Amino acid sequence: MRYALLVIPLLLAQDKPFDAVRCEDLPQDRPSDLLKNDGWKAVRAFVEKGTESKAALEEAAKSEDSDIAFYAKAALAEIDARAAADKQIRLTKEMKEAPAKDVIAELFKAMEQKIALDGIPDKATSIPAGLTIVEALEKVSVDVGVEFNIAEDGQWHVSTVVSKGPRFVFGQFRAHLEAVRRTTQNEFDKPIVTGLTYSGVIEPDASFKITDRYPTIKILEAVDDSGANLKKNINIVDRYGRAWRNGRETNLPFTLTVAAPEGKATKISKLRLSTELSCEKKRDVFTFEKVLEAKGVEKTLGSVTATIKDISVDGQEYKVELEITAKTVVQFPEWDTIKLTDDKGGEYQRWSSSSSQGGKKANYRFGYRNPGGLGNPATFTFSMVTETLKRTLYFEFRDVPLK
């Protein structure tokens, strides 16, 4: 399955955040002036023009003006993402004002996702034509006061516990800040360093199968309303543990730390960020036939090689040792895709398992037992991502509170 990366940038802080902007709407001016004066509107227009804009944008990206350079890099990233995709994204048709429950149901139907419609406030909303699904969901979130969360069974649910922090939507991605805490660190050979640590969430389109479970956020610019640079002297390390995440989760949590403002600062006026993400471009099924004779057999699909290192019988238990190696860092197979079956497709019961994983290599040991009524093991299969599509995401928050 392949996923599109064509995006239409849109910033909620704009005066008309959900209006479509066409290339011809922008004044004929130098690219750097357009980026400086029109920000995300200019980014959107350059993305619509495509690769013919790249030369000018590459020059603008070298600008010493942080506004021009940031928006130019954002536009270049979106143009590259569009070029790497093999189909365009679907845009919304106009939905006139109607009960929020009906609008949400239509959006999730278009997404081919299941959602429980209980708990939606008795409010009305509407969707203009030409938005991405993510932009439409963000509009509903803001209009109605809801968030959307996915459960382990793959069904979405509505929550009225809404983040009050700054929000951002950008084509097929949106993000918001959830909380801030003042952090201190006292190392024996260094003085105490005080900063502000923000936690937030990136929410991609549900059609993306993101393989980066914990994105590394790069702070490009952090300036408070007194003009002070908050990006300097950041020595605080995030030491908070990261909980295990299953493959069905779509939201990407992140944390970032900036220096604590001094003096009369009341907010962070500009917080500009970037992160590199990869998503599933191709998934393959590895199949080993005549598995009892498959010791030493290897199969290569895409950049991934799988090898049956050993298979043996220990009493009533069939033991399989599997090794997976890849040319790049990959997301290893979800355990529920790994199966041992007989010649009629009957599935053996996994009785024991262990694994060790690194960035490019994983080793598994499985023990299987016949639950009753099955023939001898015939096939060992699993599925995993064998090819990813990488992209850089640029996003920003304005007027970020300090507490």
* 68 within some domain: no
Q: Identify whether the C-beta of residue 9 lies closer than 8 Å to the C-beta of residue 47.
A: yes
* 227 within some domain: no
User: Residue 186 — very low, low, confident or very high, per pLDDT cuts 50/70/90?
Assistant: low
What is the number of structural domains in the chain? 1
- Higher per-residue pLDDT: 246 or 371: 371
Average pLDDT over residues 268-278: 93
Say yes or no to pLDDT of 162 above 70: yes
Say how far apart CA 7 and CA 79 lie, in whole Å: 9
* 311 within some domain: yes
* 22 within some domain: no
Half-sphere exposure of 206 (CA within 13 A, CB side): 20
Say how far apart CA 367 and CA 377 lie, in whole Å: 12
Tokens 């290893």 identify what position? 332
* 267 within some domain: no
Q: How confident is the model at residue 340, as a pLDDT? A: 97
* 314 within some domain: yes
341: CATH: 2.60.40.1630
* 272 within some domain: no
* 303 within some domain: yes
Say how far apart CA 21 and CA 24 lie, in whole Å: 8
Say how far apart CA 132 and CA 170 lie, in whole Å: 9
Say how far apart CA 155 and CA 233 lie, in whole Å: 43
Q: Give per-residue burial for 233-271: e unless 16+ CB within 10 Å, then b.
A: eeebeeeeeeeeeebeebebbbbbbbbbbeeebebbbbb
Residue-wise pLDDT for 88-122, tens only, equals 777 889 999 999 999 999 999 988 889 999 989 99
Q: Residue 305's domain spans which residues?
A: 291-377
pTM of the predicted model as reported, rounded to 2 decimal places: 0.77
Q: What residues have CB less than 8 Å from 319, skipping those under 6 apart?
A: 310, 311, 312, 313, 365, 366, 367, 368
